[in-house]
Amino acid sequence: ILNVEQSPQSLHVQEGDSTNFTCSFPSSNFYALHWYRWETAKSPEALFVMTLNGDEKKKGRISATLNTKEGYSYLYIKGSQPEDSATYLCAVNSGAGSYQLTFGKGTKLSVIP
């Protein structure tokens, strides 16, 4: 079973601050990494799918990087807003004949106005 770790578990930031969280995974047998944002009472929303070492993706104020050699991905939020408050989930697939995504426990972000 793949072990996907996310840190921190939760954090509180002031509106306007920038923040980042980490997703760690075994660097061997990597195929794809997904980031999702899950607001309370809503559907998890896909943010990024990343497959290549060195990949950088951006969507508005949110960006992500991927390092498959050392087994981590960073998610950055620039100038946090209250509407960014959500749980951010990372999910990884190792390939090797499996189509299964293994999710981390998530990072819960609270942005204080």
Partner 1 sequence: EAGVAQSPRYKIIEKRQSVAFWCNPISGHATLYWYQQILGQGPKLLIQFQNNGVVDDSQLPKDRFSAERLKGVDSTLKIQPAKLEDSAVYLCASSLRRDSADTQYFGPGTRLTVL
Q: Which of 11, 13, 22, 44 binds partner 1 (CB under 8 A)?
A: 44
CB of 79 to partner 1, least distance (A): 26
Q: Should residue 99 be labelled a site residue for partner 1 when binding is judged by CB under 8 A?
A: yes
- Residue closer to partner 1 (CB basis): 5 or 15: 5
CB of 81 to partner 1, least distance (A): 23
Q: Should residue 104 be labelled a site residue for partner 1 when binding is judged by CB under 8 A?
A: yes
Nearest Cα residue to 68 out of 35, 104, 92: 92
CB of 44 to partner 1, least distance (A): 4
Q: Should residue 46 be labelled a site residue for partner 1 when binding is judged by CB under 8 A?
A: yes
Q: Give all strands (DSSP E) within the chain, no chain letters.
A: 5-7, 10-14, 19-24, 32-38, 45-50, 56-59, 62-67, 72-77, 86-93, 102-103, 107-112
Q: Kindly state the DSSP code that residue 85 receives in the 8-state scheme.
A: -
